């Protein structure tokens, strides 16, 4: 089986920006205010407004070659792919993927704080008049994991490590989820990233690049790397 872990670099070519593209400010919002539990407690209206705008932004965004390649993989090798993403956009789904594991939540959904029910609102805004369709609570929030709260889907990472023999990291700098210990569990691995990143541990830099821990390093944007990635995957699956 194949474990795929994608990050912001997968969606960058589709015009999706993340807070890492900005310097503490994201579309004029303070990142810590809109992406942390403290900010959420301090001003729910502001945070809601922010996610409403991000959700609306998604509507006209289109999947790129890399999203489409991952959808193709799912069809070609049914039940063989763990498609894990740190992205909260819906471009993998737009490309035709049906089994995406969103590690950091999803922009298109709202969540009930009372019963944890999650439902799709498309690209529409949260208006404060919603009630949970299941328990009728009016305590409703966006469905994006914030700094300061648990990410329950992370358990799927460990599950994938146990079950898969090939690990592919696409467009992630390894700053949020450390991909080096994951890659170290695999004999076969591919890293796709336009930039060489130094491996920073909590003790500081080890003076090595992250790509040193991978079997293959494709130093390019996600879309550009697709053909070579597919070639390596086919070779692996045929072996
Ligand atoms: Zn509920």
Task: Summarize pLDDT for 71-105 with one digit per residue, the tens.
Answer: 999 999 999 999 999 999 999 999 999 999 999 99
Compute the average pLDDT of residues 141-156: 95
Which ranges in 99-178 belong to alpha helices (H)?
Answer: 155-163
Q: How far is the CA of 143 from the centre of ligand 1 (A)?
A: 13
Residues 6+ apart with CB under 8 A from 47: 33, 34, 39, 40, 142
Q: Could you say which of 67, 104, 142, 188 is catalytic? A: 104
Compute the average pLDDT of residues 143-155: 94
Q: Which of 44-48, 80-84, 110-114, 198-202 has the lowest mean pLDDT?
A: 198-202
pLDDT at residue 22, as a whole number: 59
Known catalytic residue: 102?
A: no
Quick one: tokens of 114?
Answer: 């009372």
**Residues, beta carbon < 5 Å, ion ligand 1:** 112, 114-115, 117, 132, 134-135, 137
pLDDT at residue 21, as a whole number: 63
Task: Summarize pLDDT for 206-219 with one digit per residue, the tens.
Answer: 678 999 999 999 99
Task: Please report, rounded to a whole number, the percentage of residues in the chain having pLDDT higher than 70.
Answer: 95
Looking at every residue in the chain, the average pLDDT score rounds to 93
Q: Angle formed by the axes of helices 65-76 and 222-238, to 10°?
A: 20
């Amino acid at each position: 089986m194949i474990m795929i872990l994608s990050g912001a670099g997968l969606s960058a070519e589709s015009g999706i920006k993340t807070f890492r593209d900005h310097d503490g400010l994201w579309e004029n919002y303070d990142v810590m205010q809109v992406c942390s539990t403290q900010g959420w407690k301090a001003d729910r209206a502001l945070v809601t407004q922010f996610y409403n705008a991000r959700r609306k932004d998604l509507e006209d965004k289109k999947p790129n070659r890399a999203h489409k390649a991952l959808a193709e993989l799912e069809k070609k090798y049914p039940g063989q792919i763990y498609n894990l993403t740190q992205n909260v956009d819906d471009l993998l789904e737009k490309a035709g993927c049906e089994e995406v594991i969103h590690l950091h939540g999803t922009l298109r959904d709202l969540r009930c704080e009372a019963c944890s029910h999650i439902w799709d609102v498309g690209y529409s805004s949260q208006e404060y008049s919603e009630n949970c369709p299941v328990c009728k609570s009016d305590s409703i929030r966006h469905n994006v994991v914030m700094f300061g709260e648990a990410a329950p889907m992370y358990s799927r990472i460990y599950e994938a490590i146990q079950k898969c023999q090939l690990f592919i990291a696409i467009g992630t700098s390894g700053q949020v989820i450390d991909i080096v210990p994951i890659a170290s569990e695999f004999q076969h691995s591919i890293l796709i990233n336009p930039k060489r990143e130094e491996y920073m541990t909590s003790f500081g830099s080890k003076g090595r690049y992250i790509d040193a821990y991978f079997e293959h390093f494709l130093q390019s944007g996600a879309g550009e790397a697709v053909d070579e990635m597919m070639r390596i995957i086919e070779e692996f699956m045929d072996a």
